[in-house]
Amino acid sequence: MNQIVTNKDPEKILRNYLEKGNLRKTKERFSILKEIYNLKTHFSVESLHEHLLREHYKISLATVYNTIEHLLACKLIRRHHFEQNLSIYEPAIGQRQHDHLICSDCGYVLEFCDPRIQQIQDTMGELLNFRITGHSLHLYGHCNKLKENGICPHFEKKK
């Protein structure tokens, strides 16, 4: 680390990454990044692609997949694997470290922070002689409101 990266502007990070890798700065790549950061939510490749079409971009699914790989490589997004075999992504700049609570009924994702997870990391790293670099914690459950009235309050957000 002989260069301190202070810039938190996603577009500049992408530009920098593409230049370093001798990759092309295509309009598709920047459009996809822009829309991801507009959305600010968790998304799948398919939901992102549908969003792009609604916004009248002419970008193919294959290009979305291609671009996602680059955005992962330069850490502009993170990939998650929740209960289904479907990759879910989220923008990764300007967010606190957090974990996820996933509703098993509607797939709705809530974010939370708990300092005890850091303590677990420290304890286990020492105990098992590992240098821990990160974690993923998913809690799964059901909205209590679902039990009360039979309607999942997040259901309309279901795909």
Contact 103, 91 (CB under 8 A): no
The residues in 53-82 that bind its own copies, with binding defined as CB under 8 A, are: 81-82
The CA-based dihedral angle spanning residues 113, 116, 122, 123, taken in that order and rounded to the nearest 10 degrees: -150
Alpha carbons 82 and 80: distance in angstroms, whole number:
6
29 binds DNA (CB under 7 A): yes
**Smallest gap, in angstroms, from Cβ of residue 85 to its own copies?**
4
The CA-based dihedral angle spanning residues 37, 139, 96, 122, taken in that order and rounded to the nearest 10 degrees: -140
**Smallest gap, in angstroms, from Cβ of residue 24 to DNA?**
4
For its own copies, the closer CB: 21 or 140: 140
Q: How many CA atoms are closer than 13 Å to the CA of 138, on its beta-carbon side?
A: 14
Segment interacting with its own copies, rule: CB under 8 A, options 21-29, 35-43, 62-70, 139-147? 139-147
For DNA, the closer CB: 46 or 126: 46
12 binds DNA (CB under 7 A): no
Q: Could you list the residues that contact DNA (CB under 7 A)? A: 18, 22-29, 44-46, 58-63, 65-67, 84-87
